[in-house]
């Protein structure tokens, strides 16, 4: 039905301009919102309204002001109106697309998700997906995403919902659990780095391969968000997977660092040691950053001191880095006052490509998170999995990725079970059930009674975010 | 990873010319071989050798002569050498692609497959896929396709095998059963007609839709070859499935003809009455010609006289039409003598697109037959199913088609079971087992003892083609 | 946990007498009700109340009178009170066991189920399980069994419900669909005859085996009611299955009769020709009467005249035999008037054994119909299947029967799908959906449009029993 | 088919005496062999030969001498001949039953399985089933059990093989992997203690329940050996599971001890704290000793010092207790010299009941380990699982136990995967594959590189027992 062209940055304008409404939940954010402003302004064949909603209305209003300012500039090709709304329902009314990118105030939540487990000797580089922190974040998010799905059902039932929020799998799953007919996908860029890695390998190992772009590398993705794997990689008809053994030898030993080696590095440093360790032991390359991969099994984070994790070429991100003094607000002031000009850039994000594809403009193939309808044949149907998919005017069609090898399936499956249990706990408000999942987190290797204490302490500390739960649960009583 | 463009007839030449070897099993045929000569001659970026093998060596030699003659013409852009081989192994040696399109002499086989069942009151419009004829044809083909797969394993283990032979599912499945690591797909054009139907519907029902090409219509295909269904159809982001109810009303009543109405029509006449009857009763549109669809259930062919089938707007193809006086040979003489010139045409076939895609030139999405790895989630893994797939330099990736509705799944599943049973019977030579499948054919509604007689009579009559079977089987003794 | 003794007719009294309440839905019947009166009267360690409910209250009242009369006799060891109730709810209030044995007036329903299909050339020996008659009977029964389940939930939620009504599978399934926590089983005696057959074979083939009782033969049962199979049979540690080939030869040819041969026989004559034909072709012995087995596949009933079915040693039961002049009422009058004395007998029924087992008195192993929780591993979970089960004070535990062979699984599975579709149709009132199942009945080999006419005619004729269905369905309009 | 009687110690003699041959692999052992001598001597209706084979032939010979001595005593009712054989094949020739109970010399194997992991901070109370010790023991055992199965296939293909050796699941699975048609079961007594617990609860909570024997308690068992669960328990028709909450409260807090509390206790002390902790958290009661249960999840053994495990009321068994000075040999000398008389006792073992049942004498229901054919519906087919089963002359029929709850299924499933991986590694000799399973052991919470070192060290230390493995594996090189 289609011939496909390798992805190029310049999009082929169709000549038609499509007018759409975008609702943005979490529209006060500095990250994704700015990227979206940037990308929409550069898209030649889309135009319309962006309706921003945020629990912090002022932040949304500032983003609206910035969006309108940017869209008025000569270099901006798209014609967009940005507006901030007080009510989520009004922002989503009649929307064609809904973007979700939300976060609870880190100082009241994320910081505790990191710090309290550390008191029990559990170290988490990220703490937003799995582990004690990820589990608690999931519990907080489920009622919120249930609410978003209910609003979509009421105000824009046919809209495409694009979620960027972590824990990605649980948030996306909650949308479908509340409103099974929702059109929702979850997007994450971790796999891009794996494509970049293979692009470099193509240049290193394939004769005549220069300037290979990550978009030219085809990888078969299978797993769940942040714990996903690649078992095939091609550039044109060159099998890049064949070079992995050579590349592995080049990168050995694993682990290859000493505690302290990463001291001066960014918190986000990634040496792909764990990704390759998975390849070495299980035959599939880990396809997320090592900071994420490490949290899904106990073998990399069974440490006594934070710096020990540096042996694997990564660092822990302390809670202080999650709270407060990021430079966003100041930058915003300068944009709005005109002291600094918002600079257009190639964001590398695919949201606009995806919207155009779903509008029937130009088919697009990428990886995304979507309920399993067989694309990972040996994971449960209905669970949200990460694979490649084709997006067209008819919607999302996952590409079949086959089976995971049994040992890897089992490693992934325990998280699928945990996520499904958290969803059930979140929809019923049952914290005793939630604790079953908490206890089954691979990072929870402490004594069962300590695990209970930690769980109860997390809930107690973040009590304001657990209003939808039964706080008389046994697990909280000891 | 990819942006995709709607299919256009003119291919975008990549500037690179790829040199390949094609092996052709059944290379003496007049149909597919001529199409291939035509399509290769017009492909700007492929060149190489075409090695023809046929049990009828003279026919292969004539095709080679024609191929070389055509490729020498000025209008032919591809540089190809055609050669006929005495041994299949030599033809396949080192091949990049193997095309299969074979047929036993119809007068010794196909004619009986049609005529003998008629003596028992079983009428088959085609008799090459299922029904008594299809089952017997499958049994004959399995040892042959086993042999092809063994030759591929020995002479060109990484080649892509493109099968056009019926029974499509069983032949393709036999290739994988013999050589599980084979790279094989089965191609069939029946679904194109469904795309054409939706293209017409787009023009009829969608404002501003003119000149919609079948290639612009995206259909979700799910089922098995010749008994496959469409449950989604889009043109751009227009849902064409929504117009099916209106179209159904326009086409009612079903059946809408009387015996005799089709008397002057082609044997291949198709009024899509059965395709729509499936939609009316089961909610999915049948996506093969009505002559095929009718053979998979008993409700359309439970007739006393051949012309009764005309009530559904189709005709039976008599065995006489399968044997003898086709015009191929004469035409061939005229080509070779130079009396008539081979005329280039747009064949509408996709084999060349598929080869280019598999060579990493230009990704391509189409429907094809391939072992189930989850693409039809509620059919058995390993069975050969028909769905959409993406073809790239990394090979074939099926697009996930989800589940079939339960009642339709059950209708399909009995054929899957039959086909798997025939494969087992073909590999073990066990005709008693084969008879289990024969008896379970929906068209076999005659008495159990008559069914046995018919089966035994078919095997006896085509005895020369059953050399790989145990002819002492109980079922043959009565 | 248990040692088991071979079943003996004399039960070992435990010395404890358990007092229970039995509710009887359909308590006006002459068949099961009389058997129950007989069996309860002879059970030494049960006593209590039998509460009879019937839409024909007078019939229930007469049975109550008979029950009390019988229980007062000296030979009756159990102390029972029988009472007829006007309302089902009152009869079931607080019941420990509920027995269901109901039937719509045959002259208004069953007779048409047999006669109308015959007008379309579809002959059914029984017409109460599958086929056109069975499908329509299922549709009528579902709302009734839904009502029974709802009453159980309200009045006696922990009671054990023992169903004897056909279509057995659908009625039992409807109970569970309405009230998933119900404790219900379906009982049928067809398999006893298979045990009798093996008992005879033991006597014929095993040295020193005399007077082998059917209860001493252990058969492994797997399938669905009336289409169930035996693939293992033992007497002590003698494998009786090994003698089936010899027994088959003794019984050949199959079919072994001519039209007319059964003319003087009972309508219920059974020569086990079809049961053995299944063994001959598929390796499993059919374990229900041939009259039932024949209705599940098309090969035995594809006949032009009723007497042709006699070739397989069975007869059709005409609708006249289902209506009217049975001798029950007269007999009843004679019992009640004292002209004739109710005679105690060994009924061979197991209901009392089963009740005692469920009360924790004496464990019991038999075959029964129960939702699949893995006992037939390759049939869908939740479908009602027929296998052996152990009954104890903790309830029913099915014995694992493993897989059905693939070809047989497929034959059974189409009926499972049909039954599940009928349940869905019955619960939603959707006759278009019901027609999907009707059309998929193996006996429905007529043209699709004729099948629709027949279905519509059946519903129209029995319209009074379709009050819970949407009678505006398309299928009724043509 | 059967009525069952509650188990009583006195067996009902059938009057028939069956003569059988028993082959005993590991027949030099002091434990099981002596129990068998005791039990056979007291069985009234069995007689025959016991053929003992052991790698330590002298030990087997001593047992043979003892066996003959005991059988000659007047109190012995069974007529048995014991003989020791040099070759396993001769011992098994023509056997009706084969008993397996083997162990590698503990000082060369088991001691290291316990001690080496401790050096890495991994404490194992038993170390014979899972954990580092269990994994290595499995690898050693697989080639041995493969050999046993091959011998059975050759010498006594229809024999029933009764395995007592740990790791139970892997040994039994290896028998079936080598010889799929083998008749083998695995027996273990851990569940008896759970039945005893419920018997005590019946006496405590049920009015009028005195002297309840464990054999009178029916428990539904589901899981894998040593990690199995009970989700239903009845005494007669009393639901004992209902009293678990009350019993749990009585036993709280969990954990209820302090380090040191168990110092004077037996190594085998069991306070069922962990069994109840599973009930508290997951709703199913653990049905094996706490020492075993603790090894399947990380939460109980994440300790820094051995005595910390005493908080849960258990102790570690040091390697010294596994080696050497057991009192068996001395006792044996006294028996053989006549200084002490072998004392008949009620062993509580069921092997003789099981043999009688399989001979068709008296049906028997108990729990055992057997390949999954659906009895635990959501564990993989073919894996060896532990459930109840009925044993009769027709063999073993598992009782359907339904599904495990999802969170528990996931905990069990990781071990099933590990066990299947170990089997594959054992049959291919692939230690890199074996390390995948080792790393996935829940107790292996150490760093990945340390895990590799530990694994390599274990293999190196026990090198003599790894002759069937590829010792060039990467995992051994670092």
Min Cα separation A88/chain D (Å): 36
pLDDT at C134 over 70: yes
pLDDT at C8: 44
Closest alpha carbon to A149 in A452, A442, A426, A430:
A426
pLDDT tens per residue, range A126-181: 999 999 999 999 999 999 999 999 999 999 999 999 999 999 999 999 999 999 99
According to DSSP, the residues that pair with A396 across neighbouring strands are: A391
Q: How far is D241 from chain C (nearest CA, A)?
A: 11
For the beta carbon of residue D292, count every other beta carbon within 10 angstroms: 27
Least confident of B4-13, C38-47, D357-366: B4-13
How far apart are the CA of C468 and the nearest CA of chain B, in angstroms?
A: 22
Pick from A427-431, D29-33, D282-286, D446-450: least confident: D29-33
Q: What is the pLDDT of residue B15?
A: 67
- Partners of residue C2 in chain D, C-beta under 8 Å: 4-7, 218, 364-365
How far apart (Å, rounded) are the C-alpha atoms in residues B171 and B426?
11
C456 band by pLDDT with thresholds 50, 70 and 90 = very high
At C433, is the secondary structure helix, strand, or coil?
A: helix
If one counts every other C-beta atom within 10 angstroms of the C-beta of residue A201, the result is: 22
Query: Is the pLDDT assigned to residue A328 strictly greater than 80?
Result: no
Confidence of residue C137 (pLDDT cuts 50, 70, 90): very high
Q: Do B407 and C421 touch (CB under 8 A)?
A: yes
D–A contact (≥3 CB pairs within 8 Å)? Answer: yes
Give the pLDDT band (50/70/90) at residue C201. Answer: very high
Q: CB–CB of D1 and C353 under 8 A?
A: no
pLDDT, one tens digit per residue, over D89-99 is 999 999 999 99
Question: End-to-end CA distance of chain B, in Å?
Answer: 61
- DSSP per residue over D416-440, as a string? HHHHHHHHHHHHHT-HHHHHHHHHT
Question: Can you give the pLDDT at residue C261?
Answer: 97
Q: How far apart, in whole angstroms, are the C-alpha atoms of residue D125 and residue C439?
A: 63
Q: Over 60: is that where the pLDDT of C236 sits?
A: yes
C-beta of residue B4 within 8 angstroms of C-beta of residue B363: yes
Catalytic entry in D34, D112, D189, D345: D189
DSSP string, A59-88: HHHHHHHHHHHHHTSTT--S-EEEEEESSH
pLDDT tens, position by position, D356-384? 999 999 999 999 999 999 999 999 999 99
Q: Which helix (H) or strand (E) holds B431?
A: helix B431-439
pLDDT digits (tens, 9 = 90+) for C61-107: 999 999 999 999 888 888 899 999 999 999 999 999 999 999 999 99
Query: Which residue would you say has higher pLDDT here, A342 or A383?
Result: A383
Q: What is the pLDDT of residue A12?
A: 53
Nearest residue of B to residue A370 by CA position?
B400
Q: Look at residue A349 in the predicted model and tell me its pLDDT.
A: 84
pLDDT of residue D325: 53
Q: Is the pLDDT of residue D8 over 50?
A: no
User: How sure is the predictor about B183, in pLDDT bands with cuts at 50, 70 and 90?
Assistant: very high
Q: Give me the mean pLDDT over the A470-478 stretch.
A: 93
pLDDT at position A316, please?
95
Q: Which residues of B are catalytic?
A: 189
The residue-averaged pLDDT of A316-337 equals: 78
Pairing of strands D364-371, B97-100: unpaired
Specify the pLDDT at position B51: 98
Chains C and B touch (3+ CB pairs under 8 A): yes
Per-residue pLDDT band for D14 (boundaries 50, 70, 90) equals low
In this prediction, residue B7 has a pLDDT band, given cuts at 50, 70 and 90, of: very low
DSSP class of residue B313 equals T
Domain residue spans in chain C?
Answer: 18-108+117-186, 190-317
Band (pLDDT 50/70/90 cuts) for residue C329 is low
Residue numbers in D near A248 (CB within 8 A) = none
Q: Which residue of B has its CA nearest to C448?
A: B299
Q: Rounded CA gap, C161 and C181, in Å?
A: 12
* Total beta-carbon pairs less than 8 A apart between chain A and chain B: 185
- Nearest by CB to residue B410, choosing from C302, C413, C445, is C413
Number of C to D CB contacts under 8 A, please give it: 183
Q: What does the pLDDT average to over D113-129? A: 97
Q: Cα(B235)–Cα(B239) distance, rounded to whole angstroms?
A: 7
B334-357: per-residue pLDDT in tens?
Answer: 888 888 888 888 888 888 999 999
Neighbors of chain C by Cβ distance (3+ pairs < 8 Å): B, D
D305-355 pLDDT, tens digit each: 999 999 999 999 999 999 975 555 677 788 888 888 888 888 888 889 999
Q: Residues of C with catalytic annotation?
A: 189
Task: List the one residue out of D20, D390, D182 whose CA is nearest residue C234.
Answer: D390
More confident residue, B180 or D33: B180
Q: How close, in Å, is residue C379 to chain D by CA atoms?
A: 11
Burial of A258 (0-12, 13-18, 19+ CB in 10 A): exposed
User: What does the pLDDT read at residue A8?
Assistant: 44
The predicted pLDDT at position A4 comes to 55
Interchain touch C–D (≥3 Cβ pairs closer than 8 Å): yes
- pLDDT at residue D296 is higher than 60: yes
Say what the pLDDT of residue A270 is: 97
Beta-bridged to residue C85, according to DSSP, are: C53
Q: Is the pLDDT reported for residue D50 higher than 90?
A: yes
Domain made up of D18-108+117-186: CATH architecture:
Alpha-Beta Complex (3.90)
Share of chain D above pLDDT 70, in %: 95
pLDDT of B203 above 80: yes
The single residue of A34, A112, A189, A292 carrying the catalytic annotation is: A189
Give the integer Cα–Cα distance in Å for C286 and A117: 63
The reported pLDDT for the residue numbered A329 is 63
Mean pLDDT of chain D: 93
ipTM for this prediction? 0.94
Pairwise CB contact (< 8 Å): D238 & C360: yes
For residues D435 and D477, what is the distance between their CA atoms, to the nearest angstrom?
A: 13
From CA A234, how far away is CA A128, in angstroms rounded?
Answer: 31
* pLDDT number for residue C7: 44
- Nearest partner of D60 among D51, D72, D69, judged by Cα: D51
Output the pLDDT for position D458. Answer: 98
pLDDT at D1: 62
Percent of chain D with pLDDT over 90: 85
pLDDT at C346: 86
Tokens of A240: 């890049």
C307/C314 Cα distance (integer angstroms): 9
Of C353, C373, C400, the CB nearest to D397: C400
Distance CA A123, CA A307 (A): 10
Mean pLDDT of chain C: 93
Handedness of CA A89, A91, A92, A95 (dihedral sign): positive
Per-residue pLDDT, averaged over A446-466, amounts to: 98
Selecting from B8, B373, B397 the residue whose C-beta is nearest the C-beta of A377 gives B373
Per-residue pLDDT, A2: 65
Token pair 């612009």 in the structure block, residue: B216
pLDDT value at position B325? 53
- Whole-model pTM: value is 0.95
Percent of chain C at pLDDT above 70?
Answer: 95
The pLDDT of residue A80 is above 80: yes
Contact B299 C447 (CB under 8 A): yes
Minimum Cα–Cα distance from D255: chain A residue: A449
pLDDT digits (tens, 9 = 90+) for A227-283: 999 999 999 999 999 999 999 999 999 999 999 999 999 999 999 999 999 999 999
> Please, which contacts does B326-332 make with residues 24 or more away whose CB atoms are closer than 8 Å?
B326/B30, B328/B30, B329/B30, B331/B30, B332/B30, B332/B62, B332/B66
**Beta strand B2-6 with A364-371: parallel, antiparallel or unpaired?**
antiparallel
* Residue of B10, B13, B208, B397 to mutate, testing the A interface (most A Cβ within 10 Å of its Cβ): B397
As beta bridge partners, residue C399 has D399
Mean of the per-residue pLDDT values of chain A: 93
- pLDDT tens, B258-311? 999 999 999 999 999 999 999 999 999 999 999 999 999 999 999 999 999 999
Chain B residue with Cα closest to A213: B1
Angle ∠(D472,D474,D476) on CA atoms, nearest 5: 70
For B378-388, the pLDDT digits (tens) are: 999 999 999 99
Query: Measured in Å, how far apart are chain C's first and last C-alpha atoms?
Result: 61
Q: What's the mean pLDDT in D201-219?
A: 94
Mean pLDDT for the stretch of residues A315-340: 80
D112 carries an active-site annotation: no
Residues of D in contact with A446 (CB under 8 A): 299, 302
State how far residue D417 is from chain A, nearest Cα, in angstroms: 6
Structure tokens at C385: 């299947």
- Examine the pLDDT at C4 and tell me if it is beyond 80: no
DSSP for B152-198 reads HHHH-TTPEEEE--SSHHHHHHHHHHH-TT-EEEE---HHHHHHHHH
């Amino acid at each position: 039905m289609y011939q496909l062209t390798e992805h190029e940055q310049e999009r082929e304008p169709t000549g038609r301009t499509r007018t759409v409404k975008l609702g943005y939940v979490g529209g006060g954010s500095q990250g994704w919102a700015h990227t979206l402003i940037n990308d929409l302004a550069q898209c030649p064949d889309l135009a319309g309204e962006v309706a921003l909603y945020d629990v912090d209305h002022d932040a949304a209003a500032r983003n609206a002001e910035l969006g309108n300012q940017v869209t008025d500039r000569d270099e901006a090709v798209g014609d967009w109106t940005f507006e901030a709304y007080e009510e989520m329902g009004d922002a989503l009314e009649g929307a064609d697309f809904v973007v979700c990118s939300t976060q609870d105030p880190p100082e009241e939540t994320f910081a505790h998700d990191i710090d309290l487990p550390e008191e029990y000797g559990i170290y988490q580089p990220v703490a937003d997906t799995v582990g004690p922190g990820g589990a608690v974040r999931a519990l907080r998010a489920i009622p919120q995403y249930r609410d978003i799905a209910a609003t979509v059902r009421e105000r824009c039932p046919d809209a495409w919902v694009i979620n960027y929020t972590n824990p990605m799998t649980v948030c996306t799953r909650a949308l479908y659990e509340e409103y099974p007919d929702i059109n929702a996908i979850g997007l994450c860029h971790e796999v891009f780095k794996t494509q970049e890695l293979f692009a470099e390998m193509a240049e290193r190992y394939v004769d005549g391969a220069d300037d290979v772009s990550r978009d030219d590398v085809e990888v078969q993705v299978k797993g769940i968000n942040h714990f996903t794997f690649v078992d095939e990689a091609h550039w044109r008809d060159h099998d890049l997977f064949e070079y992995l053994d050579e590349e592995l030898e080049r990168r050995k030993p694993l682990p290859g660092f000493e505690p302290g080696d990463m001291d001066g590095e960014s918190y986000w440093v990634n040496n792909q040691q764990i990704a390759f360790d998975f390849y070495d032991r299980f035959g599939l390359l880990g396809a997320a950053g090592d900071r994420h991969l490490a949290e899904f099994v106990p073998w990399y984070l069974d440490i006594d001191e934070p710096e020990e994790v540096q042996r694997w070429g990564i660092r822990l991100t302390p809670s202080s880095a999650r709270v407060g003094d990021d430079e966003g607000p100041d930058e915003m002031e300068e944009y709005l006052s005109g002291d600094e000009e918002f600079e257009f850039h190639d964001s590398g994000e695919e949201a606009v490509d995806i919207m155009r594809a779903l509008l029937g403009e130009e088919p697009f193939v990428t990886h995304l998170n979507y309920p399993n309808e067989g694309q990972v044949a040996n994971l449960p149907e209905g669970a949200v999995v990460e694979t490649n998919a084709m997006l067209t005017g008819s919607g999302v069609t996952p590409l079949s990725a086959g089976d995971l090898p049994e040992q890897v399936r089992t490693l992934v499956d325990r998280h699928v079970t945990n996520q499904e249990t958290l969803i059930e706990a979140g929809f019923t408000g049952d914290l005793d059930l939630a604790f079953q999942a908490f206890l089954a987190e691979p990072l929870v290797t402490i004594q069962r009674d300590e695990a209970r204490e930690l769980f109860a302490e997390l809930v107690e500390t973040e009590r304001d975010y657990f209003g939808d739960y039964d706080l008389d649960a046994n697990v909280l009583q000891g």
